[in-house]
Amino acid sequence: MKSIALKNSDCLLSEYPELANCSEWKKFATEFDKPSCIRKRSDARKAFRPEMKEAVKEMDEHCQFILNGERIANFGRTKADGSNGWWSREEIALGRIVSAVALAQKVQLLFSPSKEGKKLRNALRAEADRREVPRNRQDKASCSAVVCFAFLKFVHRAKRLPLKKELNVEANRLAKCEIEDTGKKQFGEICERDEVNWKVYDCISEFDFEADDDEIKWKSRVVPLDAWDRPKWESSSGLAEYSTPLGLKGLSEAHEDKGKKQGQKDRKKP
């Protein structure tokens, strides 16, 4: 799923124009675009993905080049002089030295008591958690972050706004996910592990530099079958505590029964 900004309703419509056809869209957008809700969503996403994410990515890239310089260079990585093309052995050796020096500087920063050192340590912890098991971070913003990402995952998959009870279930699925080597699977597929059934939530692709044919490896995030349709919060007020400040108050409780609603209107006519 492409990561998009949750700044306002226009950002959502630019990615998912189908949402404009939802009957509750106008009511939803009014809540979603409140300035206080915009700030709350921004804070939640920052807590889930700490600052200096790019610094962690840079460290990973330096490690990859030191360990797999020949293979990475042959994928057309930009050279030190800004040009593209095949790297010579000397250029690869020099690139490894440059990466090793940059990586050593980052490692030194990790041991620094400075503000930047603390940020980098927090970012690395979050990345380690994400790679092992995509669970919420154990901080005050984690529930809000889960609701934000559960909302986006549902919209991306269904191309419509979720009901409040559907968002509640989606938040639980996201929180219960575990990583499994299942190969490429579709949402809702059943797989078995240790004689227990699981359902696939989504798939994550991992490029393997060690593979002879540069194949893509797929891992699945799976949810225990008995937890698949469970809500994260047993009462609707539990979800409301987090969804209302995020601007999701305008979501419907249930799909309207248009026939029943029209019948009630007809009975009220004199």
pTM confidence score: 0.61
Share of the chain above pLDDT 90, in %: 31
- With 0-12 CB in 10 A as exposed, 13-18 as middle and 19+ as buried, what is 15? middle
178-180 and 190-193 beta bridge pairing: unpaired
Residue-wise pLDDT for 76-101, tens only, equals 555 556 666 677 778 878 888 888 88
pLDDT at 170: 95
Residue-wise pLDDT for 118-128, tens only, equals 888 877 777 76
Residue-wise pLDDT for 106-143, tens only, equals 888 887 888 888 888 877 777 766 665 444 444 444 78
pLDDT at 228: 96
258-262: which pairs have CB atoms within 8 A and are 24 or more residues apart? none
Give the chain's mean pLDDT: 78
